[in-house]
Homo-oligomer: A and B are copies of this chain.
Amino acid sequence: MAATIIDSKIFGDIFSDARMREVWSDENRTAKYLDIERALAKVQGELGIIPKAAADEIVKACDIARIDWVKLKAKTEAIGYPIIAVVNQINANCRDGLGEYCHWGATTQDITDTATVLQIREGLALVEADLAELSASIAALAKKHRDTPIIGRSNLQQATPITFGYKMASILAGIERHRERLAQLKPRVLVGEFGGASGTLSSLEKGAMETQAGLMKELGLGQPLISWHTVRDNIAEVGAFLGLVGGSLGKIATDVKLMMQTEVAEVFEPFAPGRGSSSTMPQKRNPISCLYIHANISVVRQHAAALMDAMVADHERSTGPWEIEWVVLPEIFCLISGALKQARFVLAGLEVDAVQMRRNIDLTHGLVMSEAVMMGLGPYIGREYAHDLVYDLCRQALAEKRPLIDILAAHPEIAHHVDRAKLEEFCDPMNNLGQAGVMVDRVLASLS
């Protein structure tokens, strides 16, 4: 029985991704504790800090299958932290008291912080793969629709024509920046923790820095310059990054749901039988994925702020701020995984109705081409004059609900310079797409 939407047996796979939930599960977190204790014993055995026999025994005893979850829960509740409880169980699995050498020189937060970093590494790997997949889908749309005209919209008003490929490519550029950010933050974030009670490793008489270096090498993590038990910019940076990714997914969802409106009908989430339909309203095609994206990322950005609050840590081991991360990290990763999953689904199979896009361009009977007409007439009658004239004729077209082309063609002064064929050329969206294609090409060329 789960209370959260993430762990819900009904909604869990809608609002989050199963692989991401696995990363943040009790089982995986505890497995990480064991990985770290095992690596620590191995390294300290090799360095001669603990007896080789103890190291061997501990390495064997670090077995997730032997964890007694009921005991672990009870002891965690009694103490407030799970590590002593885990170490006790490892210890109990070792012969001849050799388990006493387990956790040698470590403090609770060394293990939990390093476990969190290992979970973050797995979580970011999933995000990275999702971003790559998303990038590929958007790139494919940008390429395919490089020259498919769609009306550009500003302030939810039809403005001037662009291409659907341009629309996709501008979003793609942002996704690519996220991939760059991710590459840059990893060396800062994927750094382990091993400092002992107050972080100075006073718990080890000898081999302290060697143990730290060896442990991090064993785990494939960076070695910290200094302990960071209460210096949490690395963790908060992960949250900020996911918050930024969420913003980009929100932009995608917004555009798709606006384009799916009955009155617009230009693109659609991929069809799946029953999905987004109504038993009594057959005309509906609901943007199901978009709404989950919208919801998840609204919470993700609040979680990003909460992780910044977690940075306000006191002294050498904080009194509450740290636990903010315990609440937030699993959720922010799971919620972003859900949003990414839905976004991948939408963009991998997006239905694009180029005919309807063109129909919408024509909805205003040419008014959206007025800028192009002004520019076209400029060389003949002067730009400023052209502007004023066309502006007036547009208002006339609006008032009389007549196509602009008809009014233009009927205007004696204009007719004097250009014929209807020429005017139609001016009014053809395909002739007024500016650098849309060039910009698409620039973005596609930048892909790694």
Contacts and interface: CB of A to CB of B under 8 A. Distances in A.
A291 B319 CA distance: 5
A65 interface: no
A13 B76 CA distance: 10
Contact of A263 (B5, B25, B161, B363): B363
A429 to B, nearest CB: 10
A352 interface: no
Contacts of A24: 3-4
A346 interface: no
Nearest to A85: B10
B230 A283 contact: no
Interface string A275-286: 111111111111
A60 interface: no
A20 B6 contact: no
A196 B312 contact: no
A281 B160 contact: yes
A5 B199 contact: no
Interface residues of A, number: 191
A225 B237 CA distance: 26
A17 to B, nearest CB: 10
Contact of A226 (B27, B166, B253, B364): B166
A380 interface: no
Nearest to A440: B226
A285 B195 CA distance: 21
Contacts of A358: none
A140 interface: no
3 tightest Cβ-Cβ pairs between the two chains A and B: A294-B320, A247-B311, A152-B198
29 contacts: A2-B7, A3-B25, A4-B7, A4-B24, A10-B30, A79-B274, A80-B288, A152-B315, A155-B318, A157-B285, A158-B262, A170-B231, A174-B228, A177-B188, A197-B278, A200-B436, A225-B439, A233-B244, A236-B244, A240-B240, A251-B312, A261-B264, A263-B263, A281-B367, A292-B323, A297-B312, A299-B306, A299-B324, A301-B308
